[in-house]
Copies of this chain bind each other. A is one copy, B any other.
Amino acid sequence: MPAYRTLAANDAVEYARRHAGLENPATLVSAEEVGDGNLNLVFKILDAAGISRIIVKQALPYVRCVGESWPLTLDRARIEAETLLEHSRFCPQHTVKIVHHDAAMAVMIQEDLSDHHIWRRELIKGVHYPQASRQLGEYLAQTLFHTSDFFQHPHEKKSAVVRFTNPEMCQITEDLFFSDPYRIHERNAYDAALETDAASLRLDSELKRKVAALKHRFLTKAEALLHGDIHSGSVFVAEGRLKAIDAEFGYYGPIGFDIGTAIGNLLLNYCGLPGLTGLRAAAAAREQRLTDIRELWQAFCEGFLALAAQKTRDESLAEPGYASSFLREVWQDAVGYCGTELIRRVVGLAHVADLDSISNAAMRLQCQRSAIELGRMLILAAGRIDDIGALTARIRQYS
């Protein structure tokens, strides 16, 4: 295996020619670096007509948006590729296809999705994909069921837990979701006008105990191979289609974390809508977001329960009624994790365009405050929000 070196554009073309498995590799002639994330180089590999044919993605040994002062393991590239391959086994229709990967080079080659769009951008623009929320629910049901103890043999699952041990990436989540927003930290970034709101988080001991419990479960509960970062920017959509990408945070964690992240990003959009569009359009779009959330959760639940009824291998977990009672716990976790996602996207390091792209400053602050308050309410009340109907009712109360 070659040692690690960073790919330049021409290297990426050469790499794709050799490893992409295309019939006519010589048609690949140039590369365009499109990585807009924080962690990686991403090249579109183009043919002579300028059409992107395949994607080469390489992990950098540091956090790109911060620089070489924040080093980060290259092993995340292996974990990302292996997570996506594992998820593809169970949900190929909604997982980006990995054609090749190389742990030493921290590179993977994946299908080109240029005919898709990042879901977050579409949500911000107000373009509706009527199947997307259900498809994301289906992705979560398939991937999380099949990598859980319902389906995996305990030996297979334990060795998978070892293979997907991902300490450095998990620490980013541990810090950014659960620690930083509730303390003074240089990584936090928010408008000075939000200082009172941020300070109120740091002073809310009941809130911090609930967040500690969520963090503790993130640290201990190895329920399934999570995507680990399934926000609306990790999801590509096209008409009738949806693909999850960017799984470098993959590890065995609490199922509710993936659900809460997915729902949380729809709620971040909900919070931003009054600033992203006119008030009347916002009201309708907000109702649509609540519908999206309900569809996502229902698709997940129905999918998971159908799989549990048909395919549970563990004789104890197959007891009729157990899967439903387990999903009630997942739901409560999900509501809490959703709340932490809302808060950390306003006061923490990594923000979302659903809020930050609002041009009117006063409106932006109002939307950001509503995200903080909604997040706080969800964390505090998670144990009393029994189902999706109760969640919707609570959200309407708060906004």
Residues of A within 8 A of B (CB): 149, 154-155, 157-159, 161-162, 165, 167-168, 170-171, 174, 178-179, 182-183, 205, 208-209, 211-213, 215-216, 219-223, 314-317, 319-322, 325-326
Contacts and interface: CB of A to CB of B under 8 A. Distances in A.
A125 to B, nearest CB: 37
14 contacts: A154-B170, A158-B167, A179-B315, A205-B319, A205-B321, A208-B322, A209-B321, A209-B322, A211-B316, A212-B319, A215-B316, A215-B317, A216-B317, A220-B221
Contacts of A215: 314, 316-317
Contacts of A179: 315-316
B155 A316 contact: no
A310 B286 CA distance: 47
Nearest to A206: B321
Contacts of A155: 167-168, 171
Given A182-B316, A219-B157, A222-B222, A213 B171 contact: no
A8 to B, nearest CB: 33
A168 B326 CA distance: 25
A171 B315 CA distance: 13
Q: Of residues A179, A212, A213, A320, which shows the largest number of chain B Cβ atoms within 10 Å of its Cβ?
A: A212
A173 to B, nearest CB: 10
Contacts of A162: 162, 165
A322 B221 contact: no
Nearest to A254: B220
A223 B222 CA distance: 10
Given A205-B319, A216-B326, A221-B222, 12 more contacts: A149-B219, A149-B220, A154-B170, A157-B219, A158-B165, A158-B167, A178-B316, A208-B316, A215-B317, A220-B221, A221-B221, A222-B222
Contacts of A159: 165, 167
A167 B149 CA distance: 13
A209 B326 CA distance: 10
Contact of A316 (B170, B212, B223): B212
B219 A220 contact: no
A320 B205 CA distance: 8
A85 B373 CA distance: 48
A232 B10 CA distance: 68
A171 B320 CA distance: 22
B161 A174 contact: no
B154 A174 contact: yes
A325 B212 CA distance: 10
A326 B171 contact: no
Nearest to A323: B212
A204 to B, nearest CB: 10
Contacts of A212: 316-317, 319, 322
Nearest to A217: B221
Nearest to A163: B162
Contacts of A317: 212, 215-216
Q: Of residues A212, A215, A316, which shows the largest number of chain B Cβ atoms within 10 Å of its Cβ?
A: A316
A185 to B, nearest CB: 10
Contacts of A170: 154, 158
